[in-house]
């Protein structure tokens, strides 16, 4: 079984809909992250959490919210999706010095 | 956070050694240097991390000069499967900071 799982893997939704992307990890790591990647570009950090009670905004948090339900679960929500949020979303986890483990990604399309 | 500069793209042929250099002029005393590899539609994968001098693992070597203002990822005898984007990250994942990914270097290996 994969250490970091993301659901759904693909999602198509309409403008204005609320969407939740979920991430679970079995590595026992304290830290979890959500990134967004647009075609041909690098990853941009949306939110990150250093433990269940410590959640921080990243570079591009506007339009997104997160919930750290447990150490192993970190969800990303788009309260009212818009087309320019169409992207590939990655969840990652880490423990200690910087080595992050990434999930398989969620491809989100907002029409 | 230390800003990094990498070449946008590089080309190589199978069997050659590839060196990708990353500049990080304002690296801080506590910062580590970390490299990730990303294949299309997959999350990045940790390659190597170092603080100073040279680090080698089964995949790559990382060369860091004494002033630490740059670093070079060395991939020995590349194959077609090494075609990917390579990211250099500089920082230390402590306190309330998280590292950020830049645009990376797109390596294309040809037969």
Q: What is the pLDDT of residues A42-54, one digit of tens each?
A: 889 999 998 899 9
CB pair distance less than 8 Å for A105 and B42: yes
CB atoms within 10 A of CB B9: 11
Mutate to test the interface with A, among B7, B44, B46, B55 (most CBs of A within 10 A): B44
Least confident among A8-17, A24-33, B87-96: B87-96
* pLDDT more than 70, % of chain A: 95
Q: DSSP states of B23-88 as a string?
A: E-TT--TT-EEEEEEE-TTS--EEEEEESSEEEE-SS-EEEE-TT-SEEEEEESS--GGG-EEEEE
Comparing C-alpha atoms, which of B21, B72, B32 is closest to residue A94?
B32
Mutate to test the interface with B, among A29, A33, A43, A90 (most CBs of B within 10 A): A43
Cβ distance A47 to A33 under 8 Å? yes
In the predicted structure, residue B62 carries a pLDDT above the cut 80: yes
In the predicted structure, residue B11 carries a pLDDT above the cut 80: yes
Cβ distance A38 to A27 under 8 Å? no
CA dist A4 and A105 (Å) reads: 10
DSSP-based three-state secondary structure for B93: coil
CB pair distance less than 8 Å for B98 and A33: yes
Closest approach of A49 to chain B, Cα-based (Å): 9
In the predicted structure, residue A63 carries a pLDDT above the cut 90: yes
Closest approach of B41 to chain A, Cα-based (Å): 8
Inter-chain CB pairs, A–B, below 8 Å: 64
Query: If you average pLDDT over every residue of chain B, what do you get?
Result: 90
Q: CA end-to-end span of chain B, whole Å?
A: 38
Closest approach of A94 to chain B, Cα-based (Å): 9
In the predicted structure, residue B96 carries a pLDDT above the cut 60: no
What's the confidence (pLDDT) of residue A1?
A: 56
């Amino acid at each position: 079984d994969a250490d970091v799982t993301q659901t759904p893997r693909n999602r198509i939704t309409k403008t204005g809909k609320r969407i939740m992307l979920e991430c679970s990890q079995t590595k026992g790591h304290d830290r979890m992250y959500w990134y967004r990647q647009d075609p041909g570009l690098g990853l941009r950090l949306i939110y990150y959490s250093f433990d269940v009670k410590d959640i921080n905004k990243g570079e591009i948090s506007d339009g997104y919210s997160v919930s750290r339900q447990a150490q192993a679960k970190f969800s990303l929500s788009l309260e009212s999706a818009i087309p320019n949020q169409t992207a590939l979303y990655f969840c990652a986890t880490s423990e200690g010095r910087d080595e992050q483990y990434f999930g398989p990604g969620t491809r989100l399309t907002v029409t | 956070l230390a800003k990094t500069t990498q070449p946008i793209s590089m080309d190589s042929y199978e069997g050659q050694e590839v060196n990708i250099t990353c500049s990080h002029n304002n690296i801080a005393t506590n910062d580590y240097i970390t490299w990730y590899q990303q294949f299309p539609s997959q999350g990045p994968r940790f390659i190597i991390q170092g603080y100073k001098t040279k680090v080698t693992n089964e995949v790559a070597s990382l060369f860091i000069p004494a002033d630490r203002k740059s670093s070079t990822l060395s991939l020995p005898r590349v194959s077609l499967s090494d075609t990917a984007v390579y990211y250099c990250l500089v920082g230390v994942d402590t306190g309330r900071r998280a590292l950020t990914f830049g645009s990376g270097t797109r390596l294309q290996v040809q037969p």
